Amino acid sequence: MSWYANSEKSCDTSVVLSSRVRLARNVSGIPMGERMSDEQARDICDRAGAVFTGFDRIDFDRLDRATAQSYAEEHLVSAEFASSTRPHTLYKNEDGDVYVMVCEEDHFRIQSITPGYSVRVAYERAAGAANAVGEAFPIAFDPELGYLTHCPTNLGTAMRASVMMFLPAMTRRGGMPQLSRQLAKLGMTVRGMYGEGSEATGCLYQISNQITLGISEDETISKLCEIVDFIIAQEQKLRGELASRAQYETADACARAYGTLTHARIMSCREFMDLWVDARLGVAMKDNLDTGIPDNVTLSLLDTALIESQPSVLTLLSGGGEMSPRERDIRRAAILRERLSEKR
């Protein structure tokens, strides 16, 4: 089970899909990044095995490209981690909510990803794993600078706390540039989860803290949650306006998107992302809109479809063999019909 397939969980994901806390830790006396030898990297990867007993061990430098990329598409590892050729290993726990990247740019990048709005739970899980690393390795720490990291931007708590938010109403009202400017002033940052640069697709954004030194873990999380609460309220208000002022237009767009998703024979990734936004908005607003989207199509089902539609995950689902973009588009359409059709 992973953060997106959370059907058993009783949490609301209509605005916040998942929460995530990442802690960086480095072993003192051992070089980082480029300066670390392959032997040193392999040694840390191996020794980490004793810390993470009961975790799955995945040596990324021995994975085929599609499998490695699929982890990045699931947002479980960074793109850099997925494509590096140096010795580097992922440890993931059985519950699928703790992921430890060993020998990324820091020796340890300990992440917990939990479904819905649950930043504190994610922090607790990540801190538990970080403590286990601290018991097994001498951790580089300075009383003034905090945890010492490869990049000085992460000094201090070395913590990045974030939530993944679905903001279709705010995006369409043109509110994202303003939000981005306001967050920057507060030491927070927003970035699109999909798409290049300013052209974000999927209306999915990651909101996270920028500053890590001079602020405690608890203060960071409180500050993040304060801002996230505000954004949730804004998004809900704008969705409410859609339902009251443009009820039929909104329902129509959502219903058409769902219809296309379940009937198309060729579906490009780009087209999918746009339709997915409308279908997800329709499900999120099902109490206020008559979209005719069947009840078995839940937010969790749509979030799983989003991940399964990404190129590498799709390739793996289809057996892992080489696929042309056209073959992928045909396969994507077939998977969507299969997954999202009405089931009685």
Partner 1 sequence: MLCEKCGKNEATIRYSEIVNGKKTEMALCADCAKEMGISADPFDGFGDIFGTGSLLSNFFGNALSSPTRRSSAAERRCPVCGASMYEIQKLGKVGCAECYTTFRNELLPTIRRIHGDVKFKGASPASPVNDEAAKKARELDSLRDELSAAIKNEDFEHAAQLRDKIRELEK
Q: Using the structure block, give the residue that is written with the tokens 């967050």.
A: 183
Smallest gap from residue 217 Cβ to partner 1 (A): 5
Smallest gap from residue 29 Cβ to partner 1 (A): 6
User: Exactly one of 57, 86, 120, 339 binds partner 1 (CB under 8 A); which one?
Assistant: 120
Nearer to partner 1, 209 or 310 (CB): 209
Smallest gap from residue 291 Cβ to partner 1 (A): 25
Contact string 222-251 vs partner 1 (x = CB under 8 A): ---x---x----------------------
Rounded Cα distance between 219 and 309, Å, is 37
Q: Does 117 bind partner 1 (CB under 8 A)?
A: yes
Reading the block at residue 297, the tokens are 């199509």
Both ends of the chain: CA-CA distance in Å? 24
Q: Does 83 bind partner 1 (CB under 8 A)?
A: no
Is 229:303 a contact under the CB 8 Å cutoff? no
Reading the block at residue 263, the tokens are 């009937």
Q: Does 148 bind partner 1 (CB under 8 A)?
A: yes
Q: Does 278 bind partner 1 (CB under 8 A)?
A: no
Q: DSSP 3-state assignment of 285?
A: coil
Q: Where does this chain touch partner 1 (CB under 8 A) — which range of 78-86, 208-216, 280-288, 318-326?
A: 208-216
User: Exactly one of 15, 17, 24, 32 binds partner 1 (CB under 8 A); which one?
Assistant: 32
Which residue from 82, 102, 107, 105 is spatially nearest to 34, judged by alpha carbons? 105
Reading the block at residue 129, the tokens are 């794993």
Nearer to partner 1, 134 or 294 (CB): 134
Reading the block at residue 223, the tokens are 């500050």
Q: Does 312 bind partner 1 (CB under 8 A)?
A: no
Reading the block at residue 45, the tokens are 């990867």
Kindly tell me the sign of the dihedral angle through the C-alpha atoms of 269, 260, 315, 19. positive
Which residue from 256, 292, 290 is spatially nearest to 275, judged by alpha carbons? 256
* Interface ranges with partner 1 (CB under 8 A): 10, 26, 28-35, 105, 116-121, 123-125, 127-128, 130-131, 134, 139-146, 148, 150-153, 155-157, 159, 211-219, 221, 225, 229
